[in-house]
Amino acid sequence: MDGLVRTTSLADAVRTLRTDAVGVREHTERAIERIAAVDPVVQAFVAEPGRADRLREAARDLATRAWPDRLPSLYGVPVGVKDIVHVDGLPTRAGSTLPTEVLKGGQAVVVDRLLRAGALIAGKTVTAEFAVAAPGPTRNPHRPEHTPGGSSSGSAAAVAAGLVPLAIGTQTIGSVIRPAAYCGVVGFKPSHGRVPLDGVLPTSPSYDTVGTFTATVADAVLAAECLCDDWRQAPATTGRPVLGVPEGPYLGFTEPEALAVFDQQVNTLRAAGYAVERVPVFETFEQDAFALFVVNLHELARSHADWYARYPDLYDPRTADAILQGRRVGPADYTGALRKRQAFRDRLTEATSRHGVDVWIAPAATGPAPKGLDNAGDSVMSLPWSAAGLPTLTVPAGRSTTELPLGLQCVAGHGQDERLLHWALDLEAALSPERLPSAGR
């Protein structure tokens, strides 16, 4: 399917619109045309009758509005918003068949911030049902017979296909990082709590995090400046960060081909002058993972207690199974799992400090996007970092032997979002395609 992949730079769009090189109406018309041409195949957006007219009206409003000082930072930029995030005027379906009136709520804070920055809401993007386990119809623009990942499938595919330069997703375990890797775009999950969750349907509140999809790291910086609480300029730093590779059972979950590409990524970064420390960590990962998932499932069941009691037959069996697993977790088991999660976080913090690691690096997913749309892939490579609430970024880096994208996952300390993105600008450059061979080459 030639022509499906065409990422567009948020920074370029902002520059063009703010200098009026292309007016907001013309820019919006181009977005409308791209969505009309490509989305029938990719299916990144939730169907919306009258989308084009709504966007044209919003663009007219922006173009004729009197701005008191200067144009806002995302003036005229079309943005996709995952369909568990409330947007006034657009129903929230969450990939489900539940009545929309039971899911409705006030507009999300993240949407308020987008609109205040001058963005246009291009539409709702497809999500797995309630951001859990039942994928939607979205296809991977690189290979339409392959999954785009989940649960923020529509947001990742919309950016990869050039439908929008910025899309909003959410991550509970791996729902930003994995689809970004599968679709060959940059996914950024801030520190837990850095973007308010008000107006976002809950999955597992102690994990849930609003994140972004963009074409480049510089684009992710532009978005984060608008969306994150108390954003600061990254402090001036000298030298490169020390990179940590988490040796042990965790990396054993990666497929051989993806692990070989990860080794290439590490070698490329060493050659570029980065210090890389291989650190034995997550030695008991398989046991830890059980407790980490217990927290997630219990909170999922609690979030859906009312809806599932009223509409059990309307849930996809895969979502229902996850909820029923969570209902079997008693209060004592949940409390015990929370203690184990805190102990896991403490061990990771101690290892990070003891070995002087600034940024952990790891494969963003277990391998390239699987074939088929029913299997959205495995979130295990994101699990430890999500459980610790750490800021995480995936940078496109290399391809499989079948030419599907692969990504490098980069993780910094809690609250170090600014530093992570600052460092990632250079990491992205060091991992450019001309420096990093594809698998098997």
Residues tagged active-site: 82, 151, 175
- Alpha-carbon distance of 39 to 434, in angstroms, equals 31
- Alpha-carbon distance of 158 to 96, in angstroms, equals 20
Which one-letter amino acid corresponds to residue 38? V
A 10 A CB-CB count for 33 gives 11
- Alpha-carbon distance of 334 to 92, in angstroms, equals 30
Sign of the alpha-carbon torsion through 261, 263, 266, 270 = negative
Instruction: Give CA angle at 202 (198, 204), nearest 5°.
Output: 125
Which one-letter amino acid corresponds to residue 40? P
Of 134, 181, 128, the C-alpha closest to 153 is 128
Q: Are 351 and 308 in contact (CB under 8 A)?
A: no
**List of residues 6+ apart from 288 with CB closer than 8 A:** 282, 340, 344, 384
Any bridge partners for residue 407, and if so which? 396
**List of residues 6+ apart from 106 with CB closer than 8 A:** 86, 198, 199
Of 126, 128, 137, the C-alpha closest to 45 is 126
**List of residues 6+ apart from 49 with CB closer than 8 A:** none
Burial profile 373-384: b = 16 or more Cβ within 10 angstroms, e = fewer: beebbbbbbbbb
Q: For residue 151, say if its preceding peptide bond is cis, omega within 30 degrees of 0.
A: yes
Contacts 24+ apart (CB under 8 A), 327-336: 327/301, 329/294, 329/297, 329/298, 329/301, 333/294, 333/298, 334/294, 334/295, 334/298, 336/291
Q: Are 198 and 108 in contact (CB under 8 A)?
A: yes
